[in-house]
Amino acid sequence: MDLPHVWLWTMLLACVLAWMIFHVNNQRKKKSMLKVAEAEAATEGIREGDVDTIIIGAGVGGSALAYALAKDGCRVHVIERDMREPERMTGEVMQPGGRFMLAKLGLQDCLENIDAQELAGLAVYKDGKEGVLPFPVENNTFPYEPSGRCFHNGRLVQRLRHKASSLPNVHMEEGTVKSLIEEKEVIKGVIYKNTAGQETTAFAPLTVVCDRCYSNLRRSLVDSTVSIYILPKVDLNLHRLHLILSRPMVCIMYQISSDEVRCMAEIPADSVPPMANGEMSTFLKESTYGSSVREIFIKGINDGARMQVVATKSMSARLSEKKGVIVLGDAFNMRHPLIASGMMVVLSDIVILRHLLKPLENLANVTQVSQVIKNFNDIRKPMSATVNTLGSAFSQALVASKDEAKEATRLLRLPL
């Protein structure tokens, strides 16, 4: 597992470091832009209305954005469908770059007291062989050790929600947004159903849609592969992302709390067996041959681990034609989940957006806000495109293929 592995390794490293590099570059660009905006903002009038921004969805993105904007003096109204701790089997691995972005937003403490597990690198298993790839510490440009974190997504989300709603200028309300209110191509607010079951409205100069991939606004979703998740109550305790390369699937295991391991098996859509009659269990057991962590996997299934099938999607970013609205997070842009970088991307987007919006005195100036959205898109593009491309390359390298040529590449790239 020496030389060829450098390929896989380089990709991971690139993902972490490219993030930093692009960020530094963007920071420079941003500064010059801010000066212009600041000068223009000085001539603006005072704010109108009760609220400056409506945020739809208090997940990772919506909550972090609410906190960041409120810290800068914005009055924020967050509308979230369900305030209870979400039980989601996604968004559980935060890359070192994601932690860094969280720190930039002043939210790093939200990773504390949630039994988050340190992630120090990768462990790869194939055909009975295995190898370990730690995150590099040499030439580290991070302000702290470059390790990731694995955790229950819902626990992080609850911490972020609490931190945002502790600010006096954040109003977090439970309600389900039904539609956007539009007037002459400008979004003016939302229609939502509150906890009393009443349909009501909210208005703000800026609406941010952060309701994930099932977003009402974005229906152009592309199906790619299907993943299975199981949750055995076992202790893996190795602080690594375990990749088991078998056929026809690739399985990823990681510790999400001190006594739970998440398993995620990526299966090509045409090979997914039915859940019923134990067919899925049999398939999973048979497909994880050749790895020392197989026992854990099988024990988890035998112990009746909860399973779920999720269709994964990739979606390139596309700006809305409408004004007065920004789409963020998975509602805006999604990449292959194997790269485990969705949270890092949305948090970085928030860091960029926050700096661009900060100097604007009046979010009601639609022209100015539109310019910010355009700048935001230009600044984020190099990084997000890199991560998206890496995501698809990563999945192609890892996931088995029926196409012999493709499978040969996979084996060539990843001999252990």
Ligand X SMILES: *[C@@H]1O[C@H](CO)[C@@H](O)[C@H](O)[C@H]1NC(C)=O
Ligand Y SMILES: Cc1cc2nc3c(=O)[nH]c(=O)nc-3n(C[C@H](O)[C@H](O)[C@H](O)COP(=O)(O)OP(=O)(O)OC[C@H]3O[C@@H](n4cnc5c(N)ncnc54)[C@H](O)[C@@H]3O)c2cc1C
Query: Per CB under 6 A, which region of 51-59, 135-143, 151-159, 214-222 contacts ligand X?
Result: 135-143
Other Cβ atoms within 10 Å of 270 Cβ, number: 9
Strands (E) across 23-107 are located at 53-56, 76-80, 93-94
- Residue 198 binds to ligand X (criterion: CB under 6 A): no
- Residue 257 binds to ligand Y (criterion: CB under 6 A): no
Q: 121: phi > 0 → left, psi -120 to 50 → alpha, else beta; which?
A: left
Determine whether 403 is exposed, middle or buried from the number of CB atoms within 10 Å of its CB (0-12, 13-18, 19+): exposed
Q: CB of residue 313 vs ligand Y: minimum separation in angstroms?
A: 7
Contact status, residue 88 vs residue 376, Cβ threshold 8 Å: no
Q: Which does 367 bind (CB under 5 to 8 A by kind): ligand Y, ligand X, none?
A: ligand X
- Residue 139 binds to ligand X (criterion: CB under 6 A): yes
Please tell me the distance from the alpha carbon of residue 116 to that of residue 111, in angstroms, as a whole number.
7
Q: In what order do the strands lie in the sheet with 206-209?
A: 199-203, 186-194, 170-183, 76-80, 53-56, 206-209, 325-327
- Residue 344 binds to ligand Y (criterion: CB under 6 A): yes
Token pair for 229: 């998740």
Closest CA to 156 of 229, 91, 83, 251: 91
Query: To 5 degrees, how large is the angle CA 82–CA 111–CA 86?
Result: 20
- Residue 40 binds to ligand X (criterion: CB under 6 A): yes
Q: Which does 342 bind (CB under 5 to 8 A by kind): ligand Y, ligand X, none?
A: ligand Y
- Residue 173 binds to ligand X (criterion: CB under 6 A): no
- Residue 360 binds to ligand Y (criterion: CB under 6 A): no
Number of residues that bind ligand X (CB under 6 A): 8
**Nearer of residues 205 and 342 to ligand Y, judged by Cβ:** 342
Q: Which residue shows structure tokens 């399973």? A: 307
- Residue 365 binds to ligand X (criterion: CB under 6 A): yes
**Nearer of residues 234 and 357 to ligand X, judged by Cβ:** 357
**Residues of this chain, 9-68, that bind ligand Y according to CB under 6 A:** 56-62
Determine whether 160 is exposed, middle or buried from the number of CB atoms within 10 Å of its CB (0-12, 13-18, 19+): buried
**Residues of this chain, 161-220, that bind ligand Y according to CB under 6 A:** 176-177, 210-212
**Nearer of residues 215 and 368 to ligand Y, judged by Cβ:** 215
Query: Per CB under 6 A, which region of 25-33, 78-86, 273-281, 316-324 contacts ligand Y?
Result: 78-86
- Residue 375 binds to ligand X (criterion: CB under 6 A): no
Task: Identify the residue among 227, 246, 291, 348 touching ligand Y (CB under 6 A).
Answer: 227
Under the rule (CB under 6 A), what is the footprint of ligand Y? 56-62, 79-82, 86, 90-94, 98, 176-177, 210-212, 227, 310, 312, 329-331, 337, 340-344, 346
Under the rule (CB under 6 A), what is the footprint of ligand X? 40, 44, 136, 138-139, 365, 367-368
